[in-house]
Amino acid sequence: MPTTLTIKQPDDWHLHLRDGDMLKSVLPDTARHFARAIIMPNLVPPVVRAADAVAYRERIMAALPAGSTFEPLMTLYLTEASSADDIAAAADSGLIRAVKLYPAGATTNSDSGVKDITRVTDVLERMAEIGLPLCVHGEVTDPDIDIFDREAVFIESVLEPLRSRIPGLRVVMEHVTTSDGVDYVKSGGDNLAATLTTHHLMINRNHIFKGGIRPHYFCLPIAKRQSHQLALREAATSGDKSFFLGTDSAPHLDGAKESACGCAGVYNAPNTLSCLAHVFEEEGRLDNLESFASLNGPAFYGLAPNVNTVTLEKRSEPVEYAASVQTAEGPVTVFDPECALHWHVS
């Protein structure tokens, strides 16, 4: 087994940076390791119009540590009132790289999302014409559908009919959590890809309830049973170009998670690369870490891979990550993979 691994610098194809003090506190953890990230637009209010994305991008750039070359790749939040012309102009100018579909009510700050996908057909058709990817939170919101089945039902009842109607639409199924999602992406051709999160590779639903309820493992889509976790690990480590890293690092204040009605989201930006090296080594596929973290994502988005490299070094002493980051409003707990991490990043 190698003890050092040098790969092209990774990108994060699904990231929540928030705004204000939280943005300032969490951005350095991503900018330290990643060259670029697709920035989720689910602020309050959401990033809907091109002008919102311009302003948000400026706030991100202002919050970057001095000397950082990190590049935020902006997205717009799709609503039933979104304008195809506004979106096309934002894509044409290079301001945005994707549009995000949140089914209304599916997750954190998704109230302005889409209730009826057929009402955004004109926007989606224009996106297909110009090759602008749609990033999809793939869960149905019907409360009668069991929370563990919402991804599989979404594929069958929303995504497959949509892709049949608009086959030219480029789609990223975000944070796939099931073998159903993996199988669908594998059979989906060149216009379909998926991101996988760090935490869904390391935990399954048992972790959420181990010895009590563990709010810091609660995210959406919720972690599924172990057989699904194993399917995700196989997809991530296989080298298949349809799968790439989207951490879904989603910071919430501890008080908002450790609550009678806790928020969904796992904050994994600080230790993601050490976690991934750990997973890929366990699977005997360290040779495919670069494809997953650094090559497959840019290829799908039509961008060149990064020129810089990062080196991961396996040391006998575990690498220590702070258990939480401090923000002006309180701590945010960092993802705990519940195992010693030996891969240091430099």
- Give the nearer residue to ligand DOR in terms of CB position, either 12 or 240: 12
Query: Is 248 marked active-site?
Result: yes
- Give the nearer residue to ligand DOR in terms of CB position, either 256 or 299: 256
* Position among 25, 75, 108, 247 found at the interface with ligand DOR (CB under 6 A): 108
113 scored as a contact of ligand DOR (CB under 6 A): no
Nearest approach, Cβ of 107 to ligand DOR (angstroms)? 4
Angle between helices 226-237 and 179-186 (to 10 degrees): 30
- Give the nearer residue to ligand DOR in terms of CB position, either 17 or 235: 17
**Rg, C-alpha atoms of the chain:** 19
Q: Are strands 343-345 and 309-314 parallel, antiparallel or unpaired?
A: antiparallel
Among Zn ion, ligand DOR, none, partner that 265 touches (CB below 5 to 8 angstroms by kind): ligand DOR
- Give the nearer residue to ligand DOR in terms of CB position, either 103 or 305: 103
List, in sequence order, every residue forming a beta bridge with 313; answer none if it has no partner.
4, 344
For residue 78, the one-letter residue type is L
Nearest approach, Cβ of 262 to ligand DOR (angstroms)? 11
- Which residues lie below 8 Å from residue 221, measured CB to CB, with a gap of 6+? 138, 139, 150, 151, 175, 177
8 Å CB contact between 7 and 289 = yes
Q: Which of 29, 248, 254, 336 is catalytic?
A: 248
271 scored as a contact of ligand DOR (CB under 6 A): no
Distances (CA, A) of 230 to 81, 205, 227: 39, 12, 5
* Position among 22, 220, 223, 295 found at the interface with ligand DOR (CB under 6 A): 220
Among Zn ion, ligand DOR, none, partner that 264 touches (CB below 5 to 8 angstroms by kind): ligand DOR
Rounded Cα distance between 153 and 331, Å, is: 36
Residues in the chain: 346
Active site residues: 248
Residues that bind ligand DOR (CB under 6 A): 16, 42, 107-108, 137, 219-220, 250, 264-265
